[in-house]
Amino acid sequence: MESANQTASVTEFILLGLSAHPRLEKTFFVLILLMYLVTLLGNGVLILVTILDSCLHKPMYFFLRNLSFLDICYTASSVPPHP
């Protein structure tokens, strides 16, 4: 029995917005963008301070720096919901 490679080519897809109301989509986008930027800025500052200040070169701050880096990675990745 021969198995054929069955692939389908996708020619178009539909992006679902944040809301059914176009006016709210812009508001939601701005709010989510602001939260994302605050997260990046806060964690970035924490990483920079623990690197630059020699008093903060202790294991606790090393793990705090790693936690901040992981938080940046976690918020920067997006996983689409499973249908």
For the chain, the structural domain boundaries read 22-76
What pLDDT digit, counting tens, does each position of 4-22 carry? Answer: 667 777 777 666 666 677 7
Identify which of 63, 67, 61, 59 has the alpha carbon closest to the alpha carbon of residue 43: 67
Q: What Cα–Cα distance (Å) separates residue 10 from each residue in 7, 17, 28, 71, 75? A: 10, 20, 29, 34, 29
What pLDDT digit, counting tens, does each position of 19-65 carry? Answer: 677 778 788 888 888 999 999 999 999 999 999 999 999 999 999 99
- pTM as predicted: 0.67
What tokens were used for 3? 């198995």
